[in-house]
Amino acid sequence: MTIHSKIPGIGLGTYMMSPEEAEEMTYEAIKIGYRHIDTAEVYRNEQGVAKGIERSLSEGLVTRSDLFITTKVFPGNEMWGQSQKTFDDVMESLDNSLKRLKLEYVDLYLIHSAHADKTRIEQWKALLELKSNDKIVYAGVANWNIKHLQEINDADLPLPDTNQIELHPWAQQPELVKYLQDNNVHIIAYSSLVPLSTWRKKDGENSLKTQDMENEGSSEESLFKILANKYNVKESQILLQWALQLKYAILPKTIKISRLHENFHFSFVIEEEDMLLIENENKGGGITWEWGDPLLVE
């Protein structure tokens, strides 16, 4: 079975969730029908995710094999005063994540960014070793651009199973998307809901979103509001369905149970003419990371 059919189309993203929120949302999401839960060591909520999984298992809602659990190793970034992780550091990081998650394996393990310019290939070799040892089912990366992926190719190593990238109508990454599709690297999109006027409105939830973008998102003339009215769905569901129709897996994040339902239960098709209108909404680079788009890392 290919990676494309193994990754659930809709998963739960847990970035910026506290451990308590991650526990509750993981549990509630699984009750609703979600099977993919995405976390990371730097989110500091793996233990919360573990508790949500434990509750679900103990109540017989699912078995472990029903679930698809993703976590990530942060590679280190010398610009932030962090040493770049070595092969052994990556192996240890996964062991620590498994302990926090209370799991024997994860379904997908990602190198969180390409910031470790000196040890990228070493880190990738560690993931391949973990895959051969059955500690991870699939090995992938996040926020890697074509140059980074070509380094793997040039080292005569297998390309990642997946690349998780910021991907939404305002950041469509056409060249990278084409490269990934041409090389059978499955795409997982995060930050699907960036264009919403309600996206990241709490204190501390920073990004590169400009005031012009804020104004556009709140305007009644926003294309996504117009399409939501046309299809009689939520604006968020237009953004999610756009990604699903392009065959991207998605990870919408919310801490509201009502929106867990909205992000999972919808069924409609965006007409081709409207998909073309959305294609014209592309603004270029990433918006999610307040300190700069990691796809621009050398």
Q: Assign residue 71 the CATH number of its domain.
A: 3.20.20.100
Report whether 111 contacts 85 (CB < 8 A).
Answer: no
Report whether 183 contacts 163 (CB < 8 A).
Answer: no
Domain count along the chain: 1
Q: Is the pLDDT of residue 5 over 80?
A: no
Confidence of residue 297 (pLDDT cuts 50, 70, 90): confident
Q: What integer pLDDT is reported at residue 289 of this predicted model?
A: 82
Long-range pairs, 125-133, Cβ under 8 A, ≥24: 125/87, 125/157, 126/87, 126/88, 126/90, 126/91, 127/90, 128/157, 128/158, 129/87, 129/91, 130/90, 130/91, 130/94
Confidence of residue 218 (pLDDT cuts 50, 70, 90): confident
Confidence of residue 163 (pLDDT cuts 50, 70, 90): very high
Q: What value does the mean pLDDT take over residues 203-221?
A: 85
Calculate the CA 250 to chain-centre distance: 7
Supply the pTM of this predicted model: 0.95
In sequence order, which residues have a C-beta less than 8 Å from that of residue 151 and are 6 or more positions away? 120, 121
Residues spanned by the domain of 243: 3-296
**Least confident segment among 28-37, 94-103, 211-220, 229-238:** 211-220
Buried b (16+ CB within 10 A) or exposed e, 237-261: bbbbbbbbebebbbbbbbbeeebbe
Backbone angles phi, psi at 85, to 5 degrees: -65, 140
Helix (H) or strand (E) holding 140: strand 136-142
Q: What integer pLDDT is reported at residue 295 of this predicted model?
A: 83
Q: What integer pLDDT is reported at residue 100 of this predicted model?
A: 98
Q: What value does the mean pLDDT take over residues 261-273?
A: 97
- Structure token pair of residue 63: 């078995």
Query: 190: how many CB neighbours lie within 10 A of its CB?
Result: 24
Confidence of residue 262 (pLDDT cuts 50, 70, 90): very high
Integer Cα distance of 190 and 167 in angstroms: 6
| Percentage of the chain lying above the pLDDT 90 cut | 83
Q: What integer pLDDT is reported at residue 98 of this predicted model?
A: 98
Integer Cα distance of 124 and 101 in angstroms: 22
In sequence order, which residues have a C-beta less than 8 Å from that of residue 247 and are 6 or more positions away? 4, 187
Q: Is the pLDDT of residue 1 over 60?
A: no
By three-state DSSP, how is residue 80 classified? Answer: helix
Q: Is 68 exposed, middle or buried (0-12, 13-18, 19+ CB in 10 A)?
A: buried
Integer Cα distance of 37 and 252 in angstroms: 10
Which active-site residues does the annotation give?
43
